[in-house]
């Protein structure tokens, strides 16, 4: 068992309890904002019981070390949420698969999102030309095929953030949900819906970028 001082315990708990709220938001019927990240995990005793399951009979708790390291690197809730979003938005929802390179790429993308949105929109325009589609047609589908906009997102030709911003502006997810009934769409839709409340962009600025690229053709 790893021995920690009070400062280590506080940092570890901060990282652990924030993770529990984010994890519940993305995987259960739980609203992080409604409950302010709180739940039956909001005590150090809860954390210790969780770690103790792995540490029984002298086994090493990987999660204790992982959350200790995360808590040392990210000292406030805002930075912790940002880190967890970088992982969850890539489908990495468990601490053992967290990737620092993914975090670095995410930080760069979010800090320069206007630039990357413009690049993504240019990729969308390229798709339109290659497949002889209008912008609206990228969001159309039958029950048999995914729309092009979803294909671009799933293949990471455009980012999840661009896909989400387009839905914030165009609200196309409800229409697609009427026509698509497959697990790939279900998982991606839920990821976007759960991710959307954490996004804080100036939508008017992003609209201008999107319209500018589309009008340019």
CA angle 129, 135, 140 (to 5 degrees): 110
CB atoms within 10 A of CB 3: 5
Supply φ then ψ for residue 50, to 5 degrees: -65, -45
Last residue of a domain, one of 77, 96, 111: 111
CA angle 86, 186, 127 (to 5 degrees): 75
d(CA 89, CA 161) in angstroms, rounded, equals: 9
Query: Are 148 and 194 in a shared domain?
Result: yes
- Three-state DSSP at 148 gives helix
CB atoms within 10 A of CB 60: 11
Query: Are 83 and 18 in a shared domain?
Result: yes
Is 157 inside a domain boundary?
yes
Query: Are 142 and 190 in a shared domain?
Result: yes
Instruction: Tell if the pTM clears 0.85, that is, is over it.
Output: yes
Q: Alpha helix (H) ranges present in the chain?
A: 6-27, 32-35, 44-55, 62-73, 77-88, 100-111, 113-131, 148-154, 160-170, 173-179, 183-195, 203-216
d(CA 209, CA 121) in angstroms, rounded, equals: 9
Query: Are 124 and 75 in a shared domain?
Result: no
d(CA 50, CA 6) in angstroms, rounded, equals: 18
1 pLDDT more than 90 = no
Is 202 inside a domain boundary?
yes
2 pLDDT more than 60 = no
Last residue of a domain, one of 67, 82, 111: 111
CB atoms within 10 A of CB 78: 10
Query: Are 136 and 107 in a shared domain?
Result: no
Average pLDDT score over residue span 175-185: 94
Query: Are 120 and 161 in a shared domain?
Result: yes
Domain limits for position 77: 6-111
d(CA 139, CA 146) in angstroms, rounded, equals: 9
Query: Are 128 and 82 in a shared domain?
Result: no
Last residue of a domain, one of 58, 93, 111: 111
> Three-state secondary structure along 109-146?
HHHCHHHHHHHHHHHHHHHHHHHCCCCHHHHCCCCCCC
Note the pLDDT of residue 59.
62
User: What total of structural domains would you count in the chain?
Assistant: 2
The pair of structure tokens assigned to 179 is 């026509």
Average pLDDT score over residue span 170-187: 95
In tens, the pLDDT along 37-89 reads: 999 999 999 999 988 887 766 666 788 899 999 999 999 999 999 999 999 99
Note the pLDDT of residue 140.
93
d(CA 50, CA 61) in angstroms, rounded, equals: 9
Is 1 inside a domain boundary?
no
In tens, the pLDDT along 7-37 reads: 889 999 999 999 999 999 999 999 999 999 9
Average pLDDT score over residue span 104-118: 98
Query: Are 31 and 55 in a shared domain?
Result: yes
């Amino acid at each position: 068992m790893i021995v920690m001082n009070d400062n280590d315990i506080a940092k570890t708990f901060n990282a652990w309890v924030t993770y529990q709220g984010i994890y519940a938001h993305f995987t259960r019927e739980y609203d992080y904002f409604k409950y302010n990240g709180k739940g039956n995990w909001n005590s150090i005793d809860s954390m210790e019981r969780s770690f103790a399951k792995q540490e029984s009979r002298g086994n090493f708790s990987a999660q204790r070390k992982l959350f200790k390291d995360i808590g040392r690197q990210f000292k406030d809730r805002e930075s912790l949420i940002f880190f967890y979003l970088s992982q969850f938005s890539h489908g990495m929802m468990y601490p053992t698969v967290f990737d620092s390179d993914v975090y670095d790429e995410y930080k760069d993308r979010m800090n320069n999102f206007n630039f990357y949105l413009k690049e993504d929109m240019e990729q969308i325009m390229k798709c339109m030309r290659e497949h002889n589609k209008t912008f609206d047609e990228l969001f159309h589908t039958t029950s048999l095929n995914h729309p092009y906009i979803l294909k671009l997102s799933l293949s990471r030709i455009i980012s999840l953030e661009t896909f989400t911003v387009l839905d914030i502006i165009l609200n196309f997810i409800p229409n697609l949900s009427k026509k698509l009934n497959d697990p790939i769409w279900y998982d991606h839709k839920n990821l976007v819906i759960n991710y959307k409340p954490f996004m804080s962009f100036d939508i008017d600025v992003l609209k201008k970028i999107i319209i500018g690229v589309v009008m340019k053709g």
